[in-house]
Amino acid sequence: MSLFNQILSAIDNPKQTASPGQLMGIINTVQQLGSTYQSNPEAVQTATAIVGKHVRSALQQKRDTEGEQQAQDIVHQYSSINPSNQAVQVLFSSPQVQQIVQEIASRTPIPGGAIQAMLPALVPLVLNLLETGTDPQNPQNSNSVLSSFLDADGDGDVDISDAMQLAGRYIG
């Protein structure tokens, strides 16, 4: 099942935190980032997809070395529509942050300084999208959205931005 379908399933499941309002908050925040940093929406979506790919890799590594619950705890603790430098620091080393900035800069017209400033907002947004599969009554239960995200086929095609676009159409 695709990430988008997992999110839609979570919206329809009263035992998961996903809601249309949560998705709209994520989508609106991405749009605001584009305005704040004078970047077009497509560039910010590309940046979000690249960040999503790196978040997936970091969470997979956490899961493999520290267990699935640790990855789930990070998602739960740092998911937000508010910027968090701590979320970036928990997932990435300084060299990894520079690699992410360089990758986004090479694939979008967004300047490196703006990318660096956006990361503390983009990382919690990606985590917030993953949080949609959490059971609010028992957050220790398996998160179906996170599981789908981490168990992707590894082809490098993280469909975070596609899922957000489809969610925007679905909700709007």
- pLDDT above 70: residue 164: no
Do 13 and 133 meet the contact criterion of CB atoms below 8 Å apart?
A: no
Look at phi and psi of residue 82 and say left if phi exceeds 0, alpha if psi is from -120 to 50, else beta.
beta
Quick: pLDDT tens for 113-138: 999 999 999 999 999 999 998 888 88
- pLDDT above 90: residue 84: yes
With H, G, I as helix, E, B as strand and everything else as coil, classify residue 97: helix
Question: What is the crossing angle of helices 160-171 and 112-131, to 10°?
Answer: 60
For tokens 């584009």, name the residue: 34
Range of the domain at 137: 3-171
**Number of domains composing the chain:** 1
With residue 85 as reference, give the H or E element that holds it.
helix 85-91
Quick: pLDDT tens for 3-51: 777 887 888 888 888 888 888 888 888 889 989 988 988 899 899 999 9
**Stated pTM of the model:** 0.85
